[in-house]
Structures are given as structure tokens and as C-alpha cells.
Amino acid sequence: MDNKKIISMLGLAQKAGKVVSGEFSTEKAVKSKKAFMVIVADDSSDNTKKMFSNMCEFYKVPIYFFSEKEAIGHAIGKEFRASLAILDEGFKNKLEEYFKQGIDSNE
């Protein structure tokens, strides 16, 4: 997985206004069907991971576990962020491509 490409794409999506972050905003985006993808930090609590996994499964939104809260927050110009939602299909497709490249190279 190419972390630098993912971090850069998250920053670009944030600048374009296509990212919402934080537990409440991410949950709201998923439930209002505005989210195309959810990213949750690897170092989030098990409860947070389970909550978003169940929610994304129910609403059929792809979810990825990536990096740390600090790195995700830094990528979008915030402090710590355990979760974020991507609100644009183009950014979602590109990020998904980067995530899948990482999965393929780890096999």
C-alpha cells in the first residue's frame, strides 16, 4: 500500500471539500447516503471499528482501515481523526485503486 499516495489524495479531497471527518460527521454522511467511502484509523478503538464496520455493511459503503489517527488528521489539516468519509465518487475510485494496489503487493 502506497501510504504517500493515499495521504496526498486525502489532502487533495479535503481541499476540494469532499471529506468530512470525525465520528459524528462520518456517521451522518453514511446514514444520509452521501458517503462513497469510509476510512477508519488502524489505531482506533475496537468499538469504533466495529460500529463503522456494521454501519458501512448495512448502508453498503466500502470501508478501509488505514494508518493512524495522527497521520489521517495531518493529511487533512486537522489534529487527530479516527474516521473520515469521502463524499466524491472520483476520489473514492482513486483511493480504492491505491488501497487495492497495496493489497495485491502484500499477497
| Domain residue ranges in the chain | 3-99
- CATH 3.30.1330.30 is the classification of domain 3-99: yes
Q: pLDDT of 11-66, one tens digit each?
A: 999 999 999 999 999 999 999 999 999 999 999 999 999 999 999 999 999 999 99
Asked whether the predicted pLDDT for residue 1 surpasses 80, the reply is no
Measured distance between the N- and C-terminal CA atoms of the chain, rounded to whole angstroms: 11
Q: Largest Cα–Cα distance of the chain, in whole Å?
A: 35
Give the C-alpha separation, 84 to 37, whole Å.
Answer: 8
Q: What is the pTM of this model?
A: 0.91
Give the C-alpha separation, 37 to 35, whole Å.
Answer: 6
Give the C-alpha separation, 18 to 11, whole Å.
Answer: 10
pLDDT value for 107 = 36
Give the C-alpha separation, 30 to 106, whole Å.
Answer: 29
